Amino acid sequence: MHKVAIPEHVVARGRLQRGGKEHMFDHLDMAKVAHVIVDLQVGFVAEGAPVEVPVTREIFGAVNSISRAVRAAGGLNVFLRYTYDGAEKLPWNVWFNNYMSPAHFEVMKKGFARGAPYWQLAPELDIVEGDLIIDKTRFSALIPGTCDMDEQLKGRGIDTLIITGTLTNCCCESTARDALQMGYNVIFLTDANATLSDEEHNATLISMSAIFADVMDTKHLLGLIAHSRAHKAAA
């Protein structure tokens, strides 16, 4: 598991911005909450996978516990799949042609094509009928013309996203940043996101804490969800 290290001055700045509150949310309207599980696919999880992120294998307990809690409270679980689509209307040529070698491009193209073994969601995930599975062709799931997650969430009245998955500093961070700017509240988990090093993980957590999200661990989130259910029952 990543060793979390967010400097106290960053935490204090966020607390000051929130008027002294440790966290943004005291309770959630769970009917308007989506837990977005980012790219926990075989190609990121399995040993020897094209983009193996070893720490992903340590976060399934946290991710699945959040999924079960969100589901039980009336929220929505959304499982994202990073997808290579050579026929998409907005081809990502700049990324594939300029940021990677032809050999690496070939690995990514084959590994994350629809239906490929590495493209599949990891079998360790708790997925049931009623959960959404959405494909995306960019780091963020909120780039118009490359993914319809925003339309699907807005159509269901979702206004708050819980972000878990991989890579912390790539697809998770990209989706979180765009979500805030598109009008969603964002909760970002310290112990249910994973990347290739503690340094990269903490760099994202620092940015999230400072500007983009309410950052918390799984234990705090599960308590918040339980409190929200009790608050609704008492209302």
Residue 14 has pLDDT above 90, yes or no: no
The encoded tokens of residue 182 equal: 């598109």
Residue 164 and residue 64: Cα distance in Å, rounded?
10
Q: Do the Cβ atoms of 92 and 108 come closer than 8 Å?
A: no
The domain in which residue 26 lies consists of 10-234
Q: What values do phi and psi take at 86, rounded to 5?
A: -65, -15
Per-residue pLDDT tens over the stretch 93-126: 999 999 999 999 999 999 999 999 999 999 999 9
Q: What is the DSSP letter of 92?
A: -
Determine, yes or no, domain membership for 205. Answer: yes
Mean of all residue pLDDT scores within the chain: 96
User: The domain that contains 153 carries what CATH number?
Assistant: 3.40.50.850
Determine, yes or no, domain membership for 2. Answer: no
Alpha helix (H) residue ranges in 2-78: 8-17, 42-45, 60-72
Per-residue pLDDT tens over the stretch 46-93: 999 999 999 999 999 999 999 999 999 999 999 999 999 999 999 999
Determine, yes or no, domain membership for 5. Answer: no
Residue 107 and residue 98: Cα distance in Å, rounded?
15
In the chain, how many domains are there? 1
For residue 230, the model assigns a pLDDT of 84
Residue 55 and residue 173: Cα distance in Å, rounded?
16
Residue 153 and residue 103: Cα distance in Å, rounded?
37
Sheet arrangement for strand 132-136 = 132-136, 76-82, 33-38, 160-166, 185-194, 214-216
Determine, yes or no, domain membership for 4. Answer: no
Per-residue pLDDT tens over the stretch 130-185: 999 999 999 999 999 999 999 999 999 999 999 999 999 999 999 999 999 999 99
For residue 37, the model assigns a pLDDT of 98
The better pLDDT of the pair 13, 167 is held by 167
